Amino acid sequence: MLRFSRLSVILALAACGAASGAANAQSKSTRVSWAPSYGGSCVSCDLRGRNMSGGDISAAHYPKANVSGAFLRGTRALNIDLSDAMAKGTDFRRATLDGSRLSNTRFEGSRFERASLLNVNLSGASLSDTHLTGARLGVANATGTDFSRARASGTDFTGANLTGAIFNGAILREAQFNNAILNGTSFANADLHGARITNIRLINVSFEGATGLESTNFEGSCAGENTNVPAGIALLSCQAVRLPGAEELRGGLIQTAGQ
């Protein structure tokens, strides 16, 4: 009888141990699959190397933060504030950053393949040596932004404000600049094979040393003041824009008021 009791105790302890092991294994599995939230506000935070891939940090407030080397692959990051920040070598592949404030941030060497950056503010930012293949930057504000040596084949800059932007040495094969603002923009030594630069007033734009211009689509575009059009490229000269005078404006207001 005593032996039976001892055997029962041993079996019971073994069962508990197995259950405990299963619970621990499940607990460990849960920890691995769980992803922390990095939303909210964190000014000047050090987030270097953090893994935020696949999460949702929309409306997060990270000005002056350091996210260099972090992973935001496939992250939903609508309307975030990552201005005046450091983001060198960061992985933004397939991330959605629409409407975000990214001005004056340093993104050198970061990856944005297939990322969505619609209507973002990139003014004064540095995206030199970045990977932008297939990214969408439609209607972005990229005034004074540095895209030097960026790999941006197939990137869509439709309607973007690229005043003073620098694309020196960038690979822009089949990139789209339809209806963008190109004023004081530099494409020096850029690869523009198959790019579309259509319906644009090219004012003070530099194509010095650029290649592939013979296959670039300039339909509906015109060359304005100080734009150096390479030999063999036929572009119409832009007509001067005449602003209405005070009398014309006053007349328009009177007519409108009288209707």
The model's confidence at residue 151, banded by pLDDT at 50, 70 and 90, is: very high
Across 36-45, 147-156, 194-203, least confident range = 36-45
Q: Evaluate if residue 249 carries a pLDDT over 70.
A: no
Residue ranges of domains in the chain: 122-259
The model's confidence at residue 248, banded by pLDDT at 50, 70 and 90, is: low
Asked whether the beta carbons of 63 and 84 are under 8 A apart, the reply is yes
Residue pointed to by tokens 């964190």: 42
Identify the helix (H) or strand (E) that includes residue 14.
Answer: helix 2-33
The model's confidence at residue 166, banded by pLDDT at 50, 70 and 90, is: very high
Burial 200-229 (b: 16+ CB within 10 A, else e): bbbbbbbbeebebbeebbbeebbbbeebee
pLDDT value of position 225: 81
Q: Evaluate if residue 52 carries a pLDDT over 80.
A: yes
Residue bearing the bigger pLDDT, 9 or 245: 245
Task: Average the pLDDT over 181-193 and give the result.
Answer: 98
Asked whether the beta carbons of 177 and 162 are under 8 A apart, the reply is yes
Q: Evaluate if residue 235 carries a pLDDT over 70.
A: yes
The model's confidence at residue 97, banded by pLDDT at 50, 70 and 90, is: very high
* Cα–Cα distance, 105 to 63 (Å, whole number): 9
Amino acid at 85: A
The overall average pLDDT reported for the chain is 85
Task: Average the pLDDT over 233-258 and give the result.
Answer: 64
* Cα–Cα distance, 36 to 228 (Å, whole number): 52
What CATH architecture is 122-259? Answer: 3 Solenoid (2.160)
